[in-house]
Amino acid sequence: MNMSEPNIARTQSMALQAATPLHKPFAEFKYSLPSDVDMMSPFVDHLMRLIKTFRIADGTEIDIEVALREALLNAVIHGNHKDPHKHVYLTLFCVADGEVSIMIRDEGAGFESGSVPDPTAPENRMSTHGRGIYLMRALMDEVSFEQGGTVVYMRKSPSSPSYRPQ
């Protein structure tokens, strides 16, 4: 499926805020996407092009990309159960200093993030799933789940070292 960028999201908006004495300038991008797994990869590619225009390459772009893919796929697969009538909503904040904040919301029932099994536990190491939240937490500076698990917030500062599981 070859998708052009204007067709990636059903709706999108953009806002730019100028610098003030108390705030750094930032750009905000909002998207609404149908729960379609096939749309996620081209959409992430589009987002990464945006993010790279606001950041000086510091080697952590791949961390953001992997965490973003995991969070979006979790929202579509586990949150919305691939229901084509449900949507995933994403807000991306890019700050002038290179910080990136991402909020992803699905229309699912939510979950308790503390109940997700540890994928590094011996009994879970051979499992073919269950590593998305672990990866998001390992690669981003901050990850939190809100509104009963239907919203995930992630933040990455520029040049912040990532924890690399051994």
How do the residues of the chain divide into helix, strand and coil, expressed in percent and rounded to 5? 35, 25, 40
Q: What is the pLDDT of residue 6?
A: 47
What is d(CA 147, CA 109) in angstroms, rounded to the nearest whole number? 10
Q: What is the pLDDT of residue 131?
A: 78
What is d(CA 27, CA 71) in angstroms, rounded to the nearest whole number? 21
Q: What is the pLDDT of residue 159?
A: 76
Q: What is the pLDDT of residue 11?
A: 60
Q: What is the pLDDT of residue 63?
A: 96
Q: Where do the domains of the chain lie, and which CATH numbers do they carry?
A: 10-16+23-156 (3.30.565.10)
Q: What is the pLDDT of residue 129?
A: 67
Q: What is the pLDDT of residue 163?
A: 40
**CB contact at 8 A, 79 and 90:** no
Angstrom distances, CA of residue 122 to CA of 4, 136, 164: 43, 20, 19
H/E stretch holding 95: strand 87-95
Q: What is the pLDDT of residue 14?
A: 63
Q: Which residues of the chain have pLDDT under 70?
A: 1-25, 117, 119, 124, 127-130, 160-166
